[in-house]
Structure 1
């Protein structure tokens, strides 16, 4: 299958990095999904959103089409949405330490998101400071705002059912002569396209039984993954691989496809 055509540019890949951290943004680096927050509190609400997510998980609805409908239900202006998120979205409790360790060891962190880059950049800068935020690449969708203030999402891969096929941020690393060890962190339906392409997949599990769509998908597909509640649990595992104490295969080993930390 041909790779989907991207309407948006990609940042240069880190050709010489032996390890690369790629992470979903909403509900993974943050404690709550910003788009869910807007949809639940300002759009058509939680029950309809959850029903839509179930349709996406079952394959009845594409993520692209469902996500577009969620965003269309939000009447607030884009600038109002940005301020709402800056006021309400918080950082994963362990991410700052995780970020600092990666920074000290020269390991790139790349945000791979199905959200909109301007919102992510604004909230990230608010949470960790502009100086650190500008050193983190963001691969996401964009937004179009017309003269009346009406806004709509611009999908990176409009022909893909994902809207943004996150696997396309990972696969170029596989073509390098010396492919780095790739870690991916995610939590939801938007991460399904990336799930099987990382060397080590971490699935954030802080929502309660039956509410983690990515974990359910991985179980159905037999994709090995590590469940974690916050980045403080992920960091020691990442460190063990980076230091050569364990291989990617060893940290994923367990009685089933799921390793709980």
Structure 2
């Protein structure tokens, strides 16, 4: 049996490198779970925060940036229950619309008055992120 242990974020980094280039991708910090992939296609996930109830408590990944003297703008993309812990900590929260219309994250955000933007795919989100990064719009312009 062959077993490959992937460094954290290796798959994400590979995709980013293909999209924006290796140098640019290397400048992006990726926070992800670890994974082990087996030759039969199965995989095991090693969660960053296994005792949190979320597996990867994404709020724990965001909060250190919130505590910086000049925190960066935090963009967060989510689609479900595992993203709830981080939802209120993002400056711009994108919530993926699911084909069946059910979306626990969107329901939670609406109930808790957490501003969020619905999107179906990244082609809808990229112009919004770009306008903020370029300084053409502010977070308030985008999320209200």
Is residue 2:122 matched to residue 1:231?
A: yes
The alignment yields a C-alpha RMSD, in angstroms, of 3.3
Is residue 2:55 matched to residue 1:166?
A: no
Kindly report which structure 2 residues correspond to 1:153-232, keeping only aligned pairs within 5 A, or say none.
153-209=45-101, 211-232=102-123
Per the TM alignment, residue 134 of structure 1 is displaced from its structure 2 partner at its CA by 6.2
CA 126–183 in structure 1, closer or farther in 2 if over 3 Å, else same: closer
Higher relative contact order (CA 8 A, sep 6+): 1
Unpaired runs of 5+ residues, structure 2, are none
CA 122–231 in structure 1, closer or farther in 2 if over 3 Å, else same: closer
Contact 1:200-1:225 within 8 A present in 2 as well: yes
Contact 1:117-1:140 within 8 A present in 2 as well: no
Per the TM alignment, residue 245 of structure 1 is displaced from its structure 2 partner at its CA by 2.9
Secondary structure, aligned partner of 1:153: strand
Kindly report which structure 2 residues correspond to 1:4-153, keeping only aligned pairs within 5 A, or say none.
118=7, 121-122=10-11, 125=14, 129=18, 132=22, 135=26, 136-143=28-35, 152-153=44-45
2-side partners of 1:200 and 1:123: how far apart? Answer: 21
Tell which structure's C-alpha radius of gyration is larger.
1
Unpaired runs of 5+ residues, structure 1, are 1-76, 83-115, 254-261
TM-score computed with the length of structure 1 as normaliser: 0.44
